[in-house]
Copies of this chain bind each other. A is one copy, B any other.
Amino acid sequence: MSWNHRHLLDIQSLSAEDILTVLDTARAFKAVGERAIKKVPALRGKTVVNLFVEPSTRTRISFELAAQRLTADVINFSAEVSSLKKGETLKDTARNLEALNADIIVMRHSAAGAPHFLARFLKSSVVNAGDGAHEHPTQALLDLFTIRERKQTIAGLKVTILGDILYSRVARSNIWGLLKLGAQVTLCGPATLVPPVFRQLGCRVTYDLEEAIAEAEIINLLRIQHERQRQTMFPSIGEYTSLFGLTQGRLARTRPDVLIMHPGPINRGVEIDSEIADCGRSVILEQVTNGLAVRMAVLFLVNGGKGPQEIAA
């Protein structure tokens, strides 16, 4: 088990073994988060830049904490107050950060492919923290980590992803990761947001919620992403909730061991009943905790780490 990628751009181009290396490394780092002193010196003297061209507090904080716990120095660079506004190109901004000896650039961008573009010419490592509707690889890795931790194995597991599949980078990254590790993936949501073309990847696509959740061992609820929808894809939030919201009544017709996941922030009463978010089957907050460990692992690996064997217990 040995990682050998300088960037983390997407899940699509990783092998199953790569994914498992991240998950195993994250498991070692999760233990660090439970110590009294939650730090390791793995990235001491390294510089991590959070280049967030699209705003995101949650993901930015998770990466910032991950870098701090690896003892890296962190710089936050947000587009709203930057030279990108003065007309500088993204390429020039990135090359300037590289010229400042940035070791790792964590980037969120509204354009699909933006991190891949940077990775082509930068010597710094690039980590994709979400690019448009394309991929959000660390979210998928933390979801896979959470599933594996709770269900031991992912191969053969029945996973349903529910909601806005079309515009969701979380869905896309999860689909790639789940399929690579052998899960059976069902996609469900309004027909306008769940194109049948996903069947070609090997997913089951259904527009019948009851059918989608009846046998599921994992239900991953996506956030309704108003901000990434070019037009209205369903009549109203109320109609979405009545047709596809996970209610107590619907939950009663699922397996007793089903786990409820959500990348957050949750819209209580929209895609999920408030009580379900807080119930014993929900692992939503575990996902947040695991995200920190997964991001520590990713920063560690792209900076030259090889795998969990290098982390002292």
Contacts and interface: CB of A to CB of B under 8 A. Distances in A.
Contacts of A81: 55, 57, 78
Interface string A73-93: 101011001110011110011
A44 interface: yes
A45 B55 contact: no
Nearest to A290: B99
Contacts of A99: 285-286, 288-289
Number of copies of chain A assembled together: 3
A51 to B, nearest CB: 11
A47 B65 contact: yes
Contacts of A101: 33-34, 38, 65, 289, 292
A58 interface: yes
A312 interface: no
A68 interface: yes
A243 B208 CA distance: 66
A61 interface: yes
Given A88-B265, A96-B264, A289-B101, A37 B33 contact: no
A268 interface: yes
A46 interface: yes
A95 to B, nearest CB: 6
B88 A61 contact: no
Contacts of A89: 268
Contacts of A313: none
- The interface centre, meaning the residue of A35, A58, A100, A266 with most chain B CB atoms within 10 A of its CB, is A100
Contacts of A86: 265
A285 B94 CA distance: 11
A100 B292 contact: yes
A110 B93 CA distance: 24
A90 to B, nearest CB: 12
